[in-house]
Structure 1
Amino acid sequence: MDKDLTSSPLERQNILNNRYALEKLQEHLGLGGTFYDGEWLFTKHQLVEIFGVSGSTIEKYLASHNAELSANGYIVLRGSKLRAFKALIGGTVIDYGTKTSILGVFNFRAMLNLAMVLVESDRARVIRSRILDIVLDVMAERVGGHTKYINQRDCDYLPAAYQEFNYRKEFTNALGDYVEMGKAKYGIYTNKVYQIVFREKAQEYRQILKLSNRENPRDTMYTEVLKAIASVENGLAAEIKAAAERLNRKLRPPEVDNICDEADNNPFLKPIIEDARIKMASRDLGFRDALHHQLEAYIQSVPESDFERFLGEASRSLEEQLSDPEILAVFKRLKDR
C-alpha cells in the first residue's frame, strides 16, 4: 500500500523506531549538522538552508507537531550545554524564535521527522522518497529479501511453535473423541479459534498475507499469536472433554459452538488475546505492509525493541536456529515434560 508520510504518524514512527534504517539514512543522506554529545544536531537556521523554507515555516511545524518532534529528539539547550554547543560552532548562533539563553535543536531523528511532515519543501519531498527507498533496502538486506517469515527470526518462535503444535494435538484429539460431526469439524473449529484470537478465518488470513495453498498460516504467526492460539485450543479441548464426560455422550455442533462463544468472552483469556491482536496488526503493517482490517483498532507503531528482535544481531533465520545446540536442548526439555 502507498505510504504517505506527511499524513500518517504511524508510518513515520515505524521508520523512526528502526535504528538500522536510521543508520543507513545518516550514511547516505549526508545532510551535515554539528556533532555534539554523541549525535548530530541541527539548528533551525541550518534546517532553513537544508529544506529551503522560511524560519516561520519551521516554527509552524514545531507548534503543530511539538509532541511528536520532542518525542523523536527535538530538545532545547540551556546553560552549560548551550555554551558548549556554541563553542563548537564558533560562538555565534543565528536562529529563529529563541532567546539568547536557550536554543532549540533537532537531532538526526527529529530532523528526519520534520522532513516527513514538511509539505512546503521540494527538498523534503525528495528526502521522503529516499527515506522510503532506503527503509525497503534495509529490511530486504536484514531479512534475506522478504518478510513473509520475519516472525521466525524471533528467538522465542521455535519453542512457541512446538508448544502450540502439542496443544493443537490436544484440541484435534478432543474434536475427534468428543464431537459428533464429520471431518469438516477440524476446519470449522480451527476457524473458530482464529476468529476468537484475531477475528479472521484461515482463508482471510491467507489472502491478507498472500499465502499459497501449500503454505501453513501458522508458520507465519508471531510468538504471541501462537501462544494465544495454544491457550484457546488447550482451554477448548478441556471444556469439550469435560462436557462430553458430564453428558456421557459426544457433543453436538451447537453445544461446541456455545463452548467457543464462552471462550470468546472469557476474561482470563482477554489480556493474552488483546496482546496477540496488537502484535499481529502492528507488526504485519509495519514489517509486511499487510493490513488486517478486522484489527485496525489495535494497530500501534512498531516499538524499537521489535526492530531489535526481528532485525537485530540476536535475530536469526530458522535454519541458523535449528543448528544451535541450545535451541535443540530447549526442544528436548519440552518433549520430556
Structure 2
Amino acid sequence: MRDEYVFKDSVLERVKALPVLAGTLEVTVEMSANFYEVPVDTVKAILRRHRSEFNEYGETRVLRGGELAKLRCWVHDAPTMQKTSVLTLISRRGLLRIGMLLTESEVARSVRSYLLNVEQIASKEQRAWSMEREVSKRERRRLTDAVQAFGDGNPFVYANYTNLVYRVLFDTDAPGLRKLYGLDPDDNIRDAFSTEDLRNVVDVETAISSLLRLGYGYQEIRDELLGRSANFRRDAA
C-alpha cells in the first residue's frame, strides 16, 4: 500500500508548507522531523528499521566529502549541515513514506487520511473540502493543547472558546449553528461547513492559540477577536 501511494507526494504541500534545501527537492532528517512535528530520533529510527524499503526506491542518499561540500556552497543557513561530515537527504517520496510509517504524528495522520480517503472522491470541490477538514482537525488539537496548558481552569473553557470562534465568524454559537444547519445533537457541526468556512475556523483558532501562549485571558481574547471579526470573515456563510 505504501508503494502504491508513495508517488502522490504532492499531498505533502496540501497538508503543510514543505521546505526543501536550496538547489534540490530533498530534505534533511531534521527538516523531515520538523515537518511531521516529531523528534529527530524518531525519524532516524524509521529510516534505520526500514532502510531496505527506502533504498529500493532511492528515496534517501548519503552525502560525504566533495558532494557535501558542494551542497554547503548552496545552503548557508543550516548550521547543522556546516558541522557534519555525513548528511542524509530524503526525497519527497521518501518524506511521504515516512508519513505512512509514523504512528505518533498529527501531521502524518492527516497525510494518511488524505491519501486513503480523499483521493477516492471524484469531485474537486469535495477533495478541497476534505483536505481543509483534515487541516482543521490538526489545528483544533493545537487549540485544545493551548487551552489545557494556558487556560484559566474554567470547566467550560473549551466550549467558551469554541463558541467564540463561531461568534467571530457567524454571529452565533454552537446551538445556533445546529439550528441553522438542521443538525442532530450528535452531528459534528464542522462537517456542515464549506471549504471557506473551515479555512476561516482554522485562522481564528490559530489566533486564539497564539494569544493564549502570549498570556492573554479569555476576556482579552474575546474582545480582541470580536473587534477584528471582519478580518476573519472571507465569505463565511
Q: Same fold (TM over 0.5)?
A: no
TM-score of the two chains, using structure 1 as the length reference: 0.32
Bigger radius of gyration: 1
